[in-house]
Amino acid sequence: MKAIILARVSTEEQKEIGNSLPAQIERLKNYCKNKNLEIVKVFSFDESAYKTKRDDFDKALEYLKTSKEKIVICFDKVDRFSRNVFDKRVSLLHELAMKDKTELHFASDNLIIGPNVSATEKFHFGINLGLAKYFSDAISDSVKRANEEKIRAGEITRRAPIGYFNIREEKENKGGVVVDKIRANFILKIFKLYSTGNYSMKTLSKIMQKEGFKTRKGGEIGTRHIELILKNPFYYGFQNYKGELYPHKYEPIISYDLFLMCQKVKEGYKKVRKKMSGKPFIFKGLITCNKCGCRITSEFKKNRYVYYHCTDHKEICEKIFVKEEEILKPIEEVLSKLVLPQNKINEITGSLKATEDSKNKFQEEQLKQIRKEYDLIESRISKMYEDRLDGRITIDMYDNLIKDYKEKQQELLFKMKQLDNADKNYYITANTILSLAQRAHQLFKSSEIEEKRQIINFVFQNLRLDGKNLLFETKTPFN
């Protein structure tokens, strides 16, 4: 009689000597030789016998269906066949065996399933299937508990996102994560640029491709990669586990504030749905009509002149075309007035520096208080976990309490990160900004369009076009 061999492994441990695919195949070949079975096909694959989607196993079944004669299917053990008693393949093959269209042989279990199978052998087969499922469920429970412990300890349970390396070379560092310094710079730049509101995801992907940012496999960074990066909380210190956010212990690449800024920009894109044309315009999407509130749009005339006018979606405005140069005049006038004498800059930064010590002291006290509150909650969680294991509280009670505690911890961690990311030398930053402000007009005149848009966003707000006149407000401290 002809036979096919099916050998399968699903875990790293099973790939070791004794349960490896070559070891299984060798045992089954000897079994077929002793049973005078002619081997016509050998299937060997690495997949779980517990999952409902088993592509490699289904290929073996398709081969079986094409055969016009009875074929024996040889497995090493019942658990190599399936660990799920509800798997449709179990009932299908069992039915074929009962109709004498095939036989199921389990070499190491010394078991044959066919139309003449005895009650004892049926019981043996059922017990082995049940045990296989039990061991699979037990492994699943162990993995789940291990993952929960890792999450509680701030450790990652899967591959770290791009911008980080998973360390696996040394046993003591197994499961560790370190920052990929090269890619982390690109990640930080993506967040910073996107937070300005001047760059779409598509534009950022082109910039990253031009600058040489590659995926781990050497592929180009596309729009989808940018989207996944921008919404991943791992970069500011949290990881998503089953829909919940938990703090991790690895070095963040960005601040929580920067992450929030990007989410607000993203929401803004969803609401406005700005469709930037192929040619960029300085005021595209920045100005509204003072009369009807509709957006001011831009277009080229004669391929060289830029004009702006109201979209007039409400059909209440007269379409008045205004040259870009006319709109720029009041903007440049304000920028040219942003001049502070050096002695005033020194006076302001000196005053800021004088408050530095008291600010830092207050910040340290705040961090100490928040850390104390966080540690107290952590202690309560540990005790509560022991109470759950000992049966002193129910699982539902534990789940409700842990949710409340984790939300409180998350809130505290956000506060800590905000304090940690605060610029302790802010007077130096202020000095730099004030000095740059003196050259604002010069910088604006010599900048590219995207840089001009950034400067306008930095200094101005509430830009409106009233006929041919640009109305606006200047932001603090420029007002």
Q: pLDDT tens, 273-295?
A: 444 444 568 888 889 999 988 88
- pLDDT higher than threshold 50 for residue 170: no
Report helix, strand or coil for 206.
helix
Cis (ω within 30 of 0) for the bond into 477?
A: yes
Dump pLDDT digits (tens) for 327-375: 999 999 998 888 777 777 777 777 767 666 666 777 778 888 888 888 8
CA distance 462 to 344: 29
- pLDDT higher than threshold 70 for residue 51: no
**Identity at 392, one-letter amino acid code:** R
pLDDT at position 278, please? 47
- pLDDT higher than threshold 60 for residue 173: no
- pLDDT higher than threshold 80 for residue 234: yes
Select from 461, 462, 456, 464 the least CA-distant residue to 475.
Answer: 461
**If pLDDT is split at 50, 70 and 90, which confidence band does 225 have?**
very high
Q: What is the pLDDT averaged over residues 63-85?
A: 76
pTM, whole model, 2 decimals? Answer: 0.44
- pLDDT higher than threshold 70 for residue 407: yes
DSSP 241-272: ETTEEEE-SSPPSS-HHHHHHHHHHHHHHHHH
- pLDDT higher than threshold 50 for residue 15: no
Instruction: Specify the CATH superfamily of domain 2-140.
Output: Resolvase, N-terminal catalytic domain (3.40.50.1390)
Q: What is the chain's mean pLDDT, rounded?
A: 80
Lowest mean pLDDT among 46-50, 65-69, 138-142, 379-383: 46-50
pLDDT at position 55, please? 65
Q: Specify whether the CB–CB gap between 211 and 186 falls below 8 A.
A: yes
Q: What is the dihedral of CA 423, 427, 433, 435, to 10 degrees?
A: -150
Lowest mean pLDDT among 163-172, 209-218, 228-237, 291-300: 163-172
pLDDT at position 7, please? 84
Q: What is the pLDDT averaged over residues 214-237?
A: 91
**If pLDDT is split at 50, 70 and 90, which confidence band does 154 have?**
confident
Q: What is the pLDDT averaged over residues 233-256?
A: 88
**If pLDDT is split at 50, 70 and 90, which confidence band does 268 have?**
low
Q: Which residue has the higher pLDDT, 306 or 361?
A: 306
Q: How are the residues of the chain apportioned to helix, strand and coil, as percentages rounded to the nearest 5?
A: 55, 15, 30
Highest mean pLDDT among 198-202, 205-209, 272-276, 350-354: 205-209
Residue 48 φ then ψ, to 5°: -75, 140
Q: What one-character DSSP code corresponds to residue 449?
A: H
**If pLDDT is split at 50, 70 and 90, which confidence band does 270 have?**
low
Report helix, strand or coil for 310.
strand
CA distance 37 to 469: 93
**Identity at 41, one-letter amino acid code:** K
Instruction: Specify the CATH superfamily of domain 158-273.
Output: Putative Large Serine Recombinase; Chain B, Domain 2 (3.90.1750.20)
**Identity at 417, one-letter amino acid code:** K
Dump pLDDT digits (tens) for 424-477: 455 555 666 676 677 888 888 888 888 888 888 888 899 999 999 999 998 877
Distances (CA, A) of 299 to 199, 264, 278, 354: 19, 28, 11, 51
Highest mean pLDDT among 10-19, 31-40, 79-88: 31-40
CA distance 46 to 216: 24
Lowest mean pLDDT among 58-62, 157-161, 189-193: 58-62
- Tell me the domain boundaries of the chain: 2-140, 158-273, 343-432
